[in-house]
Chain A
Amino acid sequence: MKLNVKTFAAFIFSSFLMVSSFSSASAERLTRAVADWTGGMVTCEVAEQILEQELGYKIDSIVFPSGTGLWEAVADGSDIQFACESWPSYAEADEVMVNQDLMYDGQVVKSDYKGDGSVEVYTSGIIGSSDYFVPKYFVDANPDFRDWRDLNKYKDQFATPETGSKGRLIGCAVAGWNCHDQKRLDLLGIDFEAVELGTEVAALAEAQAAYSRQEPFLLYFWTPHWFQGAYEMVGVKLPEWKACDKFTEANNWEDCGTGSWPATGWDKDYTINYMNPAVFAKPEMANAKAFFQKMKLSNDDQAVMINEIDKNGRDIVEVVQEWKDNNKDSWSKWLP
Chain B
Amino acid sequence: MAFLSSTKKNTSNSSYYSLLIPFVIFVAFALSIYLAFQSEVKSTFPKFATDAFTFTAWINAGEDYLKDHYKWITRLIASYVKVGYYGFEDFLLDSSWVFVAALMIVPSFMIGGLRLAILFIFGVYFWGAVDMWDPAMESMALMGLSVLLSVIVGVFFGVLCSQSDRFESFLKPLLDTMQVMPAFVYLIPAMFFFGIGAAPAILATMIYSMPPIIRLTNLGIRQVPNETIETATSFGSTKTQTLFKIQIPLALPSIMMGVNQTIMMALALIVLATFIGAQGLGAEIWIAIRKLDVGYAMEGGLCVLLMAIMFDRFGKALSAESKTLPSESTKFHLLPQEWEIYPIAKIIEKPLGTIHFIIETVFKLTIGLVAYITSEIFSLFNSDFAESISNFLNKHFYFFSGVLILYSISLYGSIGPGIGQFPESWALSIREPIESSVQWLTINPTFIAFTKGLRAYVTIYLMRPLDTYLTFMPWWYVMSAFVVIAWASVGIRFAFVSALLLLFIAACNIWTQAMITLSSVMISVFFCFIIGVPIGILASYSKRFQNINEVILDAMQTLPYFCYLIPVLMFFGGGVVSALIATIIYSIPPIIRLTVLGLSQVSVTYSEVSKSFGGTTLQTLNKIKFPLAIPSLVMGFNQTVMMAFAMQIVTPLIGGKGLGKEVFAGLARSDTGRALAAGIGICLLAIIIDRISLAYTKKQREALGL
Instruction: List chain A positions with a Cβ less than 8 A from chain B.
Output: 1-3, 5, 8-9, 12, 16-17, 19-23, 33, 36-38, 62-65, 67-69, 71-73, 76, 78-80, 92-93, 96, 160-162, 170, 174-177, 195-206, 208-209, 212-213, 226, 310
Q: How far is it, in angstroms, between the C-alpha of A188 and the C-alpha of B592 when the chains are bound?
A: 51
In this complex, what residue of B is CB-closest to A177? B668
Q: How far is it, in angstroms, between the C-alpha of A200 and the C-alpha of B83 when the chains are bound?
A: 35
Known contacts A37-B290, A162-B576; 20 additional CB pairs below 8 A are A1-B388, A3-B392, A20-B91, A63-B279, A64-B276, A69-B667, A160-B573, A161-B452, A175-B668, A176-B665, A195-B574, A196-B655, A197-B655, A199-B653, A199-B654, A201-B566, A202-B566, A202-B655, A205-B654, A209-B573
Q: How far is the CB of B212 from chain A (nearest CB, A)?
A: 23
**Which of B455, B576, B661, B664 has the most A CB atoms < 10 Å from its CB?**
B664
Please name all residues of chain B whose beta carbon is closer than 8 Å to the beta carbon of A93 when the two chains form the complex. 670
Q: Report yes or no: B664 in contact with A175, Cβ–Cβ below 8 A.
A: yes
7 contacts between A and B (CB under 8 A): A5-B396, A8-B399, A36-B286, A162-B576, A170-B574, A176-B669, A206-B574
Q: Is B560 an interface residue, CB under 8 A from the partner? A: no
Q: Report yes or no: A38 in contact with B196, Cβ–Cβ below 8 A.
A: no
In this complex, what residue of B is CB-closest to A73? B196
In this complex, what residue of B is CB-closest to A93? B670
Q: Is B188 an interface residue, CB under 8 A from the partner? A: yes
Q: Is B570 an interface residue, CB under 8 A from the partner? A: yes
**Which of B88, B292, B439, B460 has the most A CB atoms < 10 Å from its CB?**
B292
Q: How far is the CB of B611 from chain A (nearest CB, A)?
A: 48
Q: How far is it, in angstroms, between the C-alpha of A2 and the C-alpha of B459 when the chains are bound?
A: 69
Q: How far is it, in angstroms, between the C-alpha of A62 and the C-alpha of B201 when the chains are bound?
A: 14
**Given A3-B392, A37-B290 in contact, is the A68-B670 Cβ separation under 8 Å?**
yes
Please name all residues of chain B whose beta carbon is closer than 8 Å to the beta carbon of A78 when the two chains form the complex. 195
Q: How far is it, in angstroms, between the C-alpha of A67 and the C-alpha of B286 when the chains are bound?
A: 15
Q: Is B418 an interface residue, CB under 8 A from the partner? A: no
For chain B residues 58-112, which have a beta carbon within 8 Å of chain A?
83, 86-88, 90-91, 94
Q: Report yes or no: A16 in contact with B665, Cβ–Cβ below 8 A.
A: no
Q: How far is it, in angstroms, between the C-alpha of A65 and the C-alpha of B274 when the chains are bound?
A: 8
The 7 A-B residue pairs with the shortest CB-CB distance, nearest first, are: A176-B668, A20-B91, A161-B456, A209-B570, A197-B574, A63-B283, A206-B574
Instruction: List chain B positions with a Cβ less than 8 A from chain A.
Output: 83, 86-88, 90-91, 94, 188, 191-192, 195-197, 274-277, 279, 283, 286-287, 289-292, 385, 388-389, 392, 396, 399, 403, 439, 442-443, 448, 452, 455-456, 459-460, 565-566, 569-571, 573-576, 652-656, 661, 664-665, 667-670
Find A92's partner among B571, B654, B661, B669 (CB 8 Å cutoff). Answer: B669
Please name all residues of chain B whose beta carbon is closer than 8 Å to the beta carbon of A199 when the two chains form the complex. 653-654
Q: Report yes or no: B385 in contact with A1, Cβ–Cβ below 8 A.
A: yes
Q: Report yes or no: B574 in contact with A203, Cβ–Cβ below 8 A.
A: yes
Please name all residues of chain A whose beta carbon is closer than 8 Å to the beta carbon of B652 when the two chains form the complex. 175, 198
Q: Report yes or no: A69 in contact with B276, Cβ–Cβ below 8 A.
A: yes
Q: How far is it, in angstroms, between the C-alpha of A68 and the C-alpha of B674 when the chains are bound?
A: 14
Q: Report yes or no: A63 in contact with B664, Cβ–Cβ below 8 A.
A: no
Q: How far is it, in angstroms, between the C-alpha of A203 and the C-alpha of B289 when the chains are bound?
A: 12
Q: Report yes or no: A69 in contact with B191, Cβ–Cβ below 8 A.
A: yes
In this complex, what residue of A is CB-closest to B192? A72
Q: Report yes or no: A22 in contact with B279, Cβ–Cβ below 8 A.
A: no
Q: Report yes or no: B459 in contact with A161, Cβ–Cβ below 8 A.
A: yes
Q: How far is it, in angstroms, between the C-alpha of A145 and the C-alpha of B275 when the chains are bound?
A: 42
In this complex, what residue of B is CB-closest to A67? B668
Please name all residues of chain B whose beta carbon is closer than 8 Å to the beta carbon of A19 when the two chains form the complex. 91
Q: How far is it, in angstroms, between the C-alpha of A80 and the C-alpha of B196 when the chains are bound?
A: 8
**Given A1-B385, A205-B570 in contact, is the A198-B661 Cβ separation under 8 Å?**
yes
Q: How far is it, in angstroms, between the C-alpha of A226 and the C-alpha of B452 when the chains are bound?
A: 28
Q: Is the interface of B mostly helix, strand, loop or mixed?
A: helix
Q: Report yes or no: A205 in contact with B94, Cβ–Cβ below 8 A.
A: no
**Given A175-B665, A209-B442 in contact, is the A197-B188 Cβ separation under 8 Å?**
no
Q: How far is the CB of B413 from chain A (nearest CB, A)?
A: 11
**Given A62-B277, A162-B459, A206-B574 in contact, is the A79-B668 Cβ separation under 8 Å?**
no
Q: How far is it, in angstroms, between the C-alpha of A16 and the C-alpha of B385 when the chains are bound?
A: 27
Please name all residues of chain A whose beta carbon is closer than 8 Å to the beta carbon of B388 when the two chains form the complex. 1-3
**Given A175-B661, A175-B668, A176-B665 in contact, is the A64-B574 Cβ separation under 8 Å?**
no
Please name all residues of chain B whose beta carbon is closer than 8 Å to the beta carbon of A204 when the two chains form the complex. 292
Q: How far is it, in angstroms, between the C-alpha of A205 and the C-alpha of B571 when the chains are bound?
A: 10
Please name all residues of chain B whose beta carbon is closer than 8 Å to the beta carbon of A73 when the two chains form the complex. 191, 196, 277
Q: How far is the CB of A27 from chain B (nearest CB, A)?
A: 20
Q: Report yes or no: A205 in contact with B569, Cβ–Cβ below 8 A.
A: yes
Please name all residues of chain A whose beta carbon is closer than 8 Å to the beta carbon of B448 when the two chains form the complex. 213
**Given A5-B399, A19-B91, A36-B287 in contact, is the A205-B292 Cβ separation under 8 Å?**
yes
Q: Report yes or no: B569 in contact with A79, Cβ–Cβ below 8 A.
A: no
Please name all residues of chain B whose beta carbon is closer than 8 Å to the beta carbon of A33 when the two chains form the complex. 277
Q: Report yes or no: A63 in contact with B291, Cβ–Cβ below 8 A.
A: no
Please name all residues of chain B whose beta carbon is closer than 8 Å to the beta carbon of A21 when the two chains form the complex. 90, 94
Q: Report yes or no: A36 in contact with B290, Cβ–Cβ below 8 A.
A: yes
Q: How far is the CB of A124 from chain B (nearest CB, A)?
A: 19
Q: How far is the CB of A197 from chain B (nearest CB, A)?
A: 4
Find A201's partner among B196, B292, B456 (CB 8 Å cutoff). Answer: B292
Q: Report yes or no: B456 in contact with A22, Cβ–Cβ below 8 A.
A: no
In this complex, what residue of A is CB-closest to B454? A161
Q: How far is it, in angstroms, between the C-alpha of A80 and the C-alpha of B192 when the chains are bound?
A: 13
Please name all residues of chain A whose beta carbon is closer than 8 Å to the beta carbon of B87 when the two chains form the complex. 17, 20, 22
Find A68's partner among B289, B569, B667 (CB 8 Å cutoff). Answer: B667
**Given A67-B668, A195-B575 in contact, is the A202-B654 Cβ separation under 8 Å?**
yes
Q: Report yes or no: B188 in contact with A69, Cβ–Cβ below 8 A.
A: yes
Q: How far is the CB of A277 from chain B (nearest CB, A)?
A: 18
Please name all residues of chain B whose beta carbon is closer than 8 Å to the beta carbon of A201 when the two chains form the complex. 289-290, 292, 566, 653
Please name all residues of chain A whose beta carbon is closer than 8 Å to the beta carbon of B287 when the two chains form the complex. 36, 63
Please name all residues of chain A whose beta carbon is closer than 8 Å to the beta carbon of B439 when the two chains form the complex. 212
Please name all residues of chain B whose beta carbon is closer than 8 Å to the beta carbon of A200 when the two chains form the complex. 290
Q: Report yes or no: B661 in contact with A79, Cβ–Cβ below 8 A.
A: no
Q: How far is it, in angstroms, between the C-alpha of A327 and the C-alpha of B629 when the chains are bound?
A: 73
Q: Report yes or no: A161 in contact with B460, Cβ–Cβ below 8 A.
A: yes
Q: How far is it, in angstroms, between the C-alpha of A16 and the C-alpha of B279 when the chains are bound?
A: 23
In this complex, what residue of A is CB-closest to B452? A161
Find B275's partner among A1, A20, A65, A79 (CB 8 Å cutoff). Answer: A65
Q: Report yes or no: A202 in contact with B574, Cβ–Cβ below 8 A.
A: yes
Q: How far is it, in angstroms, between the C-alpha of A9 and the C-alpha of B106 when the chains are bound?
A: 13
In this complex, what residue of B is CB-closest to A97? B670
Please name all residues of chain A whose beta carbon is closer than 8 Å to the beta carbon of B566 when the two chains form the complex. 201-202, 205
Q: How far is it, in angstroms, between the C-alpha of A257 and the C-alpha of B448 when the chains are bound?
A: 41
Q: How far is it, in angstroms, between the C-alpha of A151 and the C-alpha of B575 when the chains are bound?
A: 22
**Which of A8, A161, A204 has the most B CB atoms < 10 Å from its CB?**
A161
Q: How far is it, in angstroms, between the C-alpha of A23 and the C-alpha of B86 when the chains are bound?
A: 9
Find A64's partner among B277, B442, B573, B661 (CB 8 Å cutoff). Answer: B277
Q: Report yes or no: B670 in contact with A96, Cβ–Cβ below 8 A.
A: yes
Q: How far is the CB of A115 from chain B (nearest CB, A)?
A: 12
Find B291's partner among A38, A65, A160 (CB 8 Å cutoff). Answer: A38
Find A79's partner among B277, B291, B664 (CB 8 Å cutoff). Answer: B277
Please name all residues of chain B whose beta carbon is closer than 8 Å to the beta carbon of A202 when the two chains form the complex. 565-566, 569, 574, 653-655
**Given A176-B668, A205-B292, A208-B292 in contact, is the A64-B196 Cβ separation under 8 Å?**
yes
Q: How far is it, in angstroms, between the C-alpha of A162 and the C-alpha of B575 when the chains are bound?
A: 8
Please name all residues of chain A whose beta carbon is closer than 8 Å to the beta carbon of B94 when the two chains form the complex. 20-21
Please name all residues of chain A whose beta carbon is closer than 8 Å to the beta carbon of B88 when the two chains form the complex. 17, 20
Q: How far is it, in angstroms, between the C-alpha of A226 and the C-alpha of B389 when the chains are bound?
A: 66
In this complex, what residue of A is CB-closest to B656? A198
Q: How far is it, in angstroms, between the C-alpha of A192 and the C-alpha of B653 when the chains are bound?
A: 22
In this complex, what residue of A is CB-closest to B384? A1
Q: How far is it, in angstroms, between the C-alpha of A206 and the C-alpha of B388 when the chains are bound?
A: 69
Q: How far is the CB of B204 from chain A (nearest CB, A)?
A: 13
Q: How far is it, in angstroms, between the C-alpha of A306 and the C-alpha of B442 when the chains are bound?
A: 26
In this complex, what residue of B is CB-closest to A96? B670
